[in-house]
Amino acid sequence: MNQKKKTALVTGASRGIGAATAIQLAQDGFFVLINYTSNESKAQEVLDQIRAAGGSGELCGFDVSNPNLVDEKLDGVAKTHGPLDVLVNNAGVTIDSLLIRMKNEDLDRTLDVDLKGAIYCTRAAAKQMMRARSGSIIQISSVVGESGNAGQSAYSAAKAGLIGFSKSVAKELASRHVRVNVITPGFIGTDMTAALTEAQKEAILRSVPMSVFGSAEDVAALAAFLASPGSRYITGQVIGVNGGMYM
């Protein structure tokens, strides 16, 4: 009864897929660290929902694109809660633009958060997990990292880079029983898709064989499985949650 709860850090957990994943992991018994960059009030809402359902966690605000801050925060987590058991790299930004119109600062911000941020967090968590000889790292990439998408070359590059990075790190960490897997969501019902017109939604759904948008909970369910002992023999894999959009 006094056994320490396992600890999970979910980056970008104030809304969308990150929030749903944090809530699901808390339901599964994890102590969940809810990362956010600027929207503390939304992150607090997620924590309140977790606690209202009998779960536990705390806020963990930091910018994943700042490597020094990432190291500092995750060192602090280890001192307070012990080594991380699960890391879900979900934090990301999307700044759409055709290549010929792309601003350098938008390219830098996309790569800094979506790719380098995940690398920084993975590196810091891997040090803890390797010593513990246990852990699961789950990367939230995107279907466009596999298929590409016009107007999203920077985002696609970052998400594709995350796949290659994760396969390499999975090979490095496997002997220490640390697993690294990638989830590639397709069109998921979020605040962004809610703002689309009906005509836009219909055009998107024509590319999805199941003809429906996915939900953040669909992605969270897979993340929870990859965080669980049931996935102990799965590493280096890219798993789509896309309704058949990319096979």
CATH of the domain at 49: 3.40.50.720
Kindly report, residue by residue over 164-190, the tens digit of the pLDDT: 999 999 999 999 999 999 999 999 987
Residue 208 maps to a domain:
yes
Average pLDDT over residues 221-233: 98
The reported pLDDT for the residue numbered 192 is 59
pLDDT in tens, 29-65: 999 999 999 999 999 999 999 999 999 999 999 999 9
Q: Is residue 2 part of a domain?
A: no
Residue span of the structural domain in which 26 resides = 7-237
Give CA–CA dist 126/103, Å, rounded: 33
Residues recognised as catalytic: 155
- Residue 242, pLDDT above cutoff 90: yes
Dihedral-angle region of residue 12 (phi above 0 means left; psi in -120 to 50 means alpha; beta otherwise): left
Main-chain dihedrals φ then ψ at residue 222, nearest 5 degrees: -70, -40
Domain assignment of residue 247, yes or no: no
Reduced to 3 states (helix: H, G, I; strand: E, B; else coil), residue 96 is coil
- Domain assignment present for residue 141? The answer is yes
Q: Is the residue at 245 inside a domain? A: no
Instruction: Give the number of domains in the chain.
Output: 1
What is the pLDDT confidence band of residue 191, given thresholds at 50, 70 and 90? low
Residue 121 covered by a domain = yes
Instruction: Note the maximum CA span of the chain.
Output: 60
**Rounded CA gap, 175 and 5, in Å?**
24
